[in-house]
Amino acid sequence: MYSIFAYENQPELWVEAARNIERRYGITKALGYVIGEKLYNLLITHNNSLLKLQQIEEKRRRSDYKPQRKVHSVFGDYGIDLDQEYQRLKRVIDETNRAKQEMVKRILNVFDINQIHEYFQSNPRLGSSGHILTEEQQRFWWKMGIEEHTLEDEIHDALLFGELQRLFFKETE
């Protein structure tokens, strides 16, 4: 069966890794890893898949729709079947939905809701480098082009930050 994860129990492994990070580096680093990186990336995958699915749905409604497409990329040309891609995206969306719910549940079982609230109140940077770099180091990475950063990225991250918060605080209401 198709999976977006390397391991079937990937969300469990990420939360367990966060527990180990907490013991060694503290709660902020642990939550930065599991929420600010792993859950954040899961949301990006989910949202991007939803967007692509909607784009295919729009194409499918057209009278001249043909599922076979030729794609040109920097890596070369290749063919794609939009009907197969549509089915794959539906599986990704289902899997990311389940994984989001499982991760939130596991995180809430391991970490105190007040710690999670404090984490969000600290307005953390998101992404894989967000919890390991200082603000100054991150700016240096952006300036040197090591990591891209645009106004659109800031807006996108602000929306994802709100979505992350709703995942946790909807669960506890």
Instruction: Tell me the pLDDT band of 114, cut-offs 50, 70 and 90.
Output: very high
Quick one: pLDDT at residue 133? 66
70 domain-assigned: no
83 domain-assigned: no
User: Exposed, middle or buried, 79 (CB in 10 Å: 0-12/13-18/19+)?
Assistant: exposed
Across the range 134-139, mean pLDDT stands at: 76
135 domain-assigned: yes
| Chain center to CA of 46 | 7
99 domain-assigned: yes
Q: pTM for the whole thing?
A: 0.84
115 domain-assigned: yes
74 domain-assigned: no
3 domain-assigned: no
62 in helix, strand or coil?
coil
Q: Does the pLDDT at position 10 exceed 60?
A: yes
> Tokens 């950063």 belong to which residue?
149
Domain count within the chain = 1
73 domain-assigned: no
Element (H, E) at 58: helix 40-60
For 149, the domain range is 10-61+90-167
